[in-house]
Chain A
Amino acid sequence: MTILVLAEHDNVSLKTDTAKVVSAAAAIGGDIHILVAGVDCSAAVTAAQHLAGVSKVLVADATQYGAQLAENVSKLVVEIAADYEHILAAATSIGKDTLPRVAALLDVSQISEVIEVVSSDTFVRPIYAGNALSTVQSLDAKKVMTVRSSAFDAVATTGNAEVVNLSQAIDARTEFVSQSLTESARPELGNAGIIVSGGRGMGSGENFAILEQLADKLGAAVGASRAAVDAGFVPNDLQVGQTGKIVAPDLYIAVGISGAIQHLAGMKDSKVIVAINKDPEAPIFQVADYGLVADLFEAIPALNNLL
Chain B
Amino acid sequence: MKILVPVKRVVDANVKVRVKADNTSVDTTNLKMALNPFCEIAVEEAVRLKESGVATEVIVVSVGAKAVQEQLRTAMALGADRAIHIETDEELVPLSIAKLLKAVQEKEQAQLIIFGKQSIDGDNNQTGQMLAALTDMPQATFASEVKVDGDMITVTREIDGGLQTLKMPLPAIVTVDLRLNEPRYASLPNIMKAKRKPLDIMTVADLGVSLKTHQTVISVTPPVERKAGIMVSSVEALVDKLKNEAKVI
Choose one: B121, B139, B142, B230; the contact of A128 (CB below 8 Å): B121
- B30 on interface, CB distance cutoff 8 Å: no
Report A-chain residues with C-beta under 8 Å of the C-beta of B188.
Answer: none
Is there contact, CB below 8 Å, between A104 and B95?
Answer: yes
Given A136-B215, A236-B179, check contact A250 B239 (CB 8 Å). Answer: no
Within 8 A of B (CB), among A163-200: 172-182, 188, 190, 194
Given A101-B133, A129-B123, check contact A93 B19 (CB 8 Å). Answer: no
Give chain A nearest CB distance to B209 CB in angstroms.
13
Is there contact, CB below 8 Å, between B120 and A100?
Answer: no
Is there contact, CB below 8 Å, between A108 and B95?
Answer: yes
**SS class, residues of chain B in contact with chain A:** mixed
Is there contact, CB below 8 Å, between B232 and A290?
Answer: yes
Give chain A nearest CB distance to B142 CB in angstroms.
6
Report A-chain residues with C-beta under 8 Å of the C-beta of B95.
Answer: 103-104, 107-110
Mark interface residues in A25-60 (1 if CB within 8 Å of B CB, else 0).
Answer: 000000000000000000000000000000000000
Is there contact, CB below 8 Å, between A291 and B19?
Answer: no
Is there contact, CB below 8 Å, between A103 and B126?
Answer: yes
Given A74-B133, A136-B217, check contact A291 B235 (CB 8 Å). Answer: no
Mark interface residues in B93-127 (1 if CB within 8 Å of A CB, else 0).
Answer: 11100100000000000000000000011111111
Identity of the chain B residue whose Cβ is nearest the Cβ of A264 in the assembled complex: B226
Distance of A229 Cα from B230 Cα, bound (Å): 29
Is there contact, CB below 8 Å, between A291 and B229?
Answer: yes
Is there contact, CB below 8 Å, between B167 and A177?
Answer: yes
- B236 on interface, CB distance cutoff 8 Å: yes
Is there contact, CB below 8 Å, between B239 and A287?
Answer: no
- A157 on interface, CB distance cutoff 8 Å: no
Is there contact, CB below 8 Å, between A261 and B229?
Answer: no
Give chain B nearest CB distance to A82 CB in angstroms.
17
Distance of A190 Cα from B160 Cα, bound (Å): 9
Identity of the chain B residue whose Cβ is nearest the Cβ of A280 in the assembled complex: B231
Give chain A nearest CB distance to B79 CB in angstroms.
24
Given A105-B133, A173-B138, A179-B163, check contact A285 B98 (CB 8 Å). Answer: no
Given A109-B95, A136-B216, A181-B162, check contact A294 B121 (CB 8 Å). Answer: no
Choose one: B159, B160, B161, B221; the contact of A132 (CB below 8 Å): B221
Is there contact, CB below 8 Å, between B229 and A237?
Answer: no
Given A174-B168, A190-B160, A261-B16, check contact A97 B239 (CB 8 Å). Answer: no
Report B-chain residues with C-beta under 8 Å of the C-beta of A274.
Answer: 238, 242
Distance of A27 Cα from B19 Cα, bound (Å): 27
- B132 on interface, CB distance cutoff 8 Å: yes
Within 8 A of B (CB), among A120-162: 122, 126-140
Is there contact, CB below 8 Å, between A71 and B167?
Answer: no
Give the bracket for the number of chain A residues in contact with chain B. 35 or more
Within 8 A of A (CB), among B158-216: 158-169, 178-179, 213-216
Is there contact, CB below 8 Å, between A93 and B154?
Answer: no
Is there contact, CB below 8 Å, between B123 and A133?
Answer: no
Choose one: A104, A130, A172, A173; the contact of B223 (CB below 8 Å): A130
- B55 on interface, CB distance cutoff 8 Å: no
Identity of the chain B residue whose Cβ is nearest the Cβ of A110 in the assembled complex: B126
Distance of A126 Cα from B234 Cα, bound (Å): 36
Identity of the chain B residue whose Cβ is nearest the Cβ of A184 in the assembled complex: B161
Is there contact, CB below 8 Å, between A177 and B220?
Answer: no
Report A-chain residues with C-beta under 8 Å of the C-beta of B128.
Answer: 100
Mark interface residues in A80-101 (1 if CB within 8 Å of B CB, else 0).
Answer: 0000000000001110111111
Is there contact, CB below 8 Å, between A237 and B132?
Answer: no
Give chain A nearest CB distance to B237 CB in angstroms.
8
Is there contact, CB below 8 Å, between B129 and A104?
Answer: yes
Is there contact, CB below 8 Å, between A306 and B162?
Answer: no
Is there contact, CB below 8 Å, between A135 and B248?
Answer: no
Distance of A98 Cα from B214 Cα, bound (Å): 20
If A136-B216, A237-B158, A268-B223 are given as contacts, then 16 extra A-B residue pairs at C-beta distance below 8 Å, sorted by A number, are A67-B164, A70-B141, A93-B141, A104-B131, A104-B133, A110-B130, A132-B17, A178-B165, A236-B144, A242-B120, A251-B246, A251-B249, A272-B242, A287-B226, A290-B246, A291-B230
Closest CB pairs A-B (n = 10): A109-B214, A289-B229, A100-B129, A181-B162, A104-B130, A104-B133, A100-B126, A93-B159, A177-B165, A101-B133
Give 9 CB contacts A-B under 8 Å: A71-B132, A93-B158, A96-B125, A97-B129, A100-B94, A103-B95, A112-B124, A127-B123, A268-B223
Interface residues of A (CB under 8 A from B): 67, 69-71, 74, 92-94, 96-105, 107-113, 122, 126-140, 172-182, 188, 190, 194, 218, 236-237, 242-243, 245, 250-251, 261, 268, 271-274, 285-294, 299, 302-303, 306-307
